[in-house]
Homo-oligomer: A and B are copies of this chain.
Amino acid sequence: MKRRRRNSQRATMSEVAQLADVSPSTVSLYLRRPDEVSSRRAERIQTAIDRLGYLPNTMAGGLASSRSNIIGVIVPTITFSFFAETLETLERNLRAAGYQLLIGNTEFDPSREEELIRSILSWNPSGLVLTGFSHSRKSVSLLAKSDIPIVEMWDYGQEGLDMVVGFSHHTCGRLVAEHLLRNGYRHMAFLSTNFQRDIRARERYHGFRDAIADSGGSVVVRELAGRSNTAEAGKLLCSLVDEHPETQAVFCSNDMVALGAMFECQRQGWSIPGRLAVVGFGNQDFTDSTVPPMTTVEPPRQEIGDHIARLLIDRLKGDDTATRIDLGVRLIVRESG
């Protein structure tokens, strides 16, 4: 029977085997566990591989072994440096262990998560990493059926589907509130990216608000309309202070928003922290060189990636290790608040 034409020029394993004068099985074995092949044949096989420029066909291998070296990761966006750094660390660790990352981003649309999960599961991945705890009912049932290790990251506190690596944003909010309260501030504001998009910012706000309420301070909140926008943050801060001139300190949902706030202060001639204390979140690289240096919170961006990789690798080796890790955050006290 006539068949569709062979896929481009790529050599197959059989061709390698033929050239090396061994069976395809031996080539396969050489590729997977080289030390179980005699050095004489190993050498012949390697020569053949080089001669033919042989590249294994990952799909064929994956199908035959009904395993894949894929780990799926779903994040809201890769343009937040937070997630990008976690991804990069995760990728580095996992690649070293022979895994390949398949990245999906929801662009902050929670309904897209399910579609991404489907698409990733159809690759038969070895594991899956999700951001946060909030998943559609359908997604949860897909995941339950899939029977692979799941990690939920960048959050902590809820039960979780399987493994969890992150920190509590609520606690983070409290931490900042307590720091400011300790320094005598009473009237606070929370200046935030949109809560709908950034649900973790809302958690931080809740922690912040609760701690302040506990000690009798006041707190005002303002949300940006769209995506994180430094200029809009400045304007919003301005109108906030206009309406609530008693405000003494503002906790921003991320360092970029805080940067916008600081520039606005400079523009208005408000001294930092004299007139207004400003605290960021993220401890991004630039925060130590603002004027004055920015007080901020350092989330364990890379540590999250490191821990997830370790957890996943252990689990895939069969070990059953710790399944919930709270990495906490570090308050970086500088001069802005």
Residue numbers of A with Cβ under 8 A of B are 4, 6-10, 53, 55-60, 62-63, 66, 68, 77-79, 81, 84-85, 87-88, 91-92, 100-103, 105, 107, 118-119, 121-124, 141-142, 145-148, 228-231, 233-234, 256, 259-260, 263-264, 266-267, 285-286, 288-291
A280 to chain B, nearest CB (A): 12
Whether B7 lies near A124 (C-beta < 8 A) is yes
Tell me the nearest residue of chain B to A285, going by C-beta.
B230
Query: Cβ of A8: which chain B residues have Cβ within 8 Å of it?
Result: 145-148
Partner of A286, one of B58, B68, B259: B259
Whether B231 lies near A260 (C-beta < 8 A) is no
Query: Cβ of A259: which chain B residues have Cβ within 8 Å of it?
Result: 286, 289
For the complex, give the distance between the alpha carbons of A264 and B293 in Å: 12
For the complex, give the distance between the alpha carbons of A9 and B68 in Å: 16
Tell me the nearest residue of chain B to A82, going by C-beta.
B79
Whether B291 lies near A59 (C-beta < 8 A) is no
Query: Cβ of A60: which chain B residues have Cβ within 8 Å of it?
Result: 63
Whether B230 lies near A145 (C-beta < 8 A) is no
Query: Cβ of A78: which chain B residues have Cβ within 8 Å of it?
Result: 78, 84, 87-88
A65 to chain B, nearest CB (A): 9
A333 to chain B, nearest CB (A): 17
Query: Cβ of A58: which chain B residues have Cβ within 8 Å of it?
Result: 122-124
Whether B102 lies near A100 (C-beta < 8 A) is yes
Query: Cβ of A119: which chain B residues have Cβ within 8 Å of it?
Result: 100
For the complex, give the distance between the alpha carbons of A59 and B285 in Å: 41
Query: Cβ of A103: which chain B residues have Cβ within 8 Å of it?
Result: 101, 103
Whether B230 lies near A57 (C-beta < 8 A) is no
Tell me the nearest residue of chain B to A121, going by C-beta.
B55
For the complex, give the distance between the alpha carbons of A4 and B65 in Å: 9
Whether B84 lies near A229 (C-beta < 8 A) is no
Whether B123 lies near A53 (C-beta < 8 A) is no
